[in-house]
Amino acid sequence: MESLQTIKQRFGIIGNSPHLNIALEKAIRVAPTDISVLVTGESGVGKENIPKIIHQLSHRKHNKYIAVNCGAIPEGTIDSELFGHEKGSFTGATQTRNGYFEVADGGTIFLDEVGELPLSTQVRLLRVLETGEFIKVGSSKVQKTDVRIVAATNINLLEAIQKGKFREDLYYRLSTVEILIPPLRERPEDIHLLFRKFASDFALKYKMPTLRLDEKSIETLKNFPWKGNVRQLKNITEQISVIEQNRNLTNEILESYLPKITHNLPALIKDNVSSSDFANEREILYKVLFDMRNDINDLKKLTQDLIKGGDQRQATENTQLLINKIYEEQNNIDKNELEIIAPNQGEPYKSQPQTEDYDDAETIEDTISLQEKEYEMIKKSLERNKGKRKLAAKELGISERTLYRKIKQYDL
């Protein structure tokens, strides 16, 4: 087995970070096997080097190695690209085509940005991983393939699973071994080494002297967050190599080429709120409204009992206490939250205290009707979605069948 340093030299990997060394050692150990590998890490960290190492150190090194960027292939053609298609299977299919899994038989396929795969393609990929079988688009013939899959992603697949965008069973099939490539900001000792390597390469490419940094600019380079990781560092080094006439860089010159660091303030409102979030908020607000109605009913009953018993002063005090409680509950309801239940319905219900006229207290009526709110909510949703029940049901967070029943109930 080749040493770690030999592997770095062979594949042009720069760095001595312990985190990087752990990732490379894991790749070296897993290479002789046929198990699937999932490479994770932020964009620009160099995840594409790991599958190359795994392929070259495996018994498949003399067969095909194909890298596929799953995020760059349109959803309508990705099945054809991966598994092939038969002539006439769709418009434009003028001849039979072999997919990557057929071409790379006996070799390795690197699926970059695997988290971007459509769910229908994920089902096909899972079958290949489990049985080695696939079917071309437009065919009914089952074909076999012997391909090792190495996948990579810069998104959190566990979060994607919770959102229903990635299959959990496929995740566990792909991540038999998971290799994490650390971001550049966690490898500060490697940043200057990488800069020197890139500066030397660009000096040869553009036939000019190599860039050099002073001590202060080296520290600036190490302390910069590098959100684009190695790719960003390489691009900025090339930019300076081409534009800057002074080959001895001071800190002021270096900082003029670095993007200004901005601190993002925490968002007060989430941009992407799912229909389930709205449904949960509706349930909470309905409960608040029901509690308020119960308080009003208690108020009516208590006031009536006290009046019948002749205790006018106590009736007044208790009535005022309950009214204050209702005011407090109402003030806790945000106007924007009420819009979820009844859009554009104006101010929430407000009780008017009646402490002198007990006849009025006996006839307090609920001015909030949940049925009216539901009617208005459904009506406005249908208007916004131009009468399309499916879209309206999705917006309201209910099933289309339930919406149809409500439409019948309210004669909408």
Q: What digits encode the pLDDT tens for the residues 282-326? A: 556 666 666 666 666 666 666 666 666 666 566 566 666 655 655
List domains and CATH numbers for the chain. Answer: 4-182 (3.40.50.300), 185-257 (1.10.8.60)
pLDDT of residue 76: 87
More confident residue, 309 or 237: 237
pLDDT of residue 308: 65
Provide CB contacts within 8 A for 10, sequence distance 6+. 2
**CA gap 136, 383 in Å, rounded:** 44
Percent of the chain with pLDDT over 70: 73
pLDDT of residue 216: 95
More confident residue, 366 or 308: 308
| 137, 124 Cβ separation under 8 angstroms | no
186-213 b/e (C-beta count within 10 Å ≥ 16 → b):
ebeebbeebbbebbebbeeeeeeeebeb
Instruction: Please tell me what DSSP assigns to residue 213.
Output: E
Q: Which of 46-50, 199-203, 215-219, 358-362 has the lowest mean pLDDT?
A: 358-362
List pLDDT tens digits, range 379-394: 888 888 888 888 888 8
Q: 195 pLDDT band (50/70/90 cuts)?
A: very high
pLDDT of residue 395: 80
Q: Is the pLDDT of residue 265 over 70?
A: no
Q: 62 pLDDT band (50/70/90 cuts)?
A: very high
Instruction: Please tell me what DSSP assigns to residue 97.
Output: B
Q: Which of 50-59, 180-189, 360-369 has the lowest mean pLDDT?
A: 360-369
Over range 174-189, report the average pLDDT: 96
> How many alpha carbons lie under 13 Å from residue 120 in its C-beta half-sphere?
9
**CA gap 42, 153 in Å, rounded:** 8
CA dihedral 360, 366, 368, 369 (to 10 degrees): -140
Q: Is the pLDDT of residue 194 over 90?
A: yes
**CA gap 253, 247 in Å, rounded:** 10
- Which is nearest to 70 in space by CA: 22, 119, 9? 119
Tell how far CA 231 is from the center of its chain.
22
Mean pLDDT, the chain, whole residue set? 82
pLDDT of residue 47: 96
Q: 401 pLDDT band (50/70/90 cuts)?
A: confident
Q: Backbone phi, then psi, for 174, in 5-degree steps?
A: -75, -35
- Which is nearest to 357 in space by CA: 322, 324, 316? 316
pLDDT of residue 284: 60
List pLDDT tens digits, range 76-125: 899 999 999 999 988 888 899 999 999 999 999 999 999 999 999 999 99
Instruction: Please tell me what DSSP assigns to residue 65.
Output: E
pTM for this structure?
Answer: 0.63
- Cross-strand bridge partners of residue 208: none
List pLDDT tens digits, range 124-153: 999 999 999 999 999 999 999 999 999 999
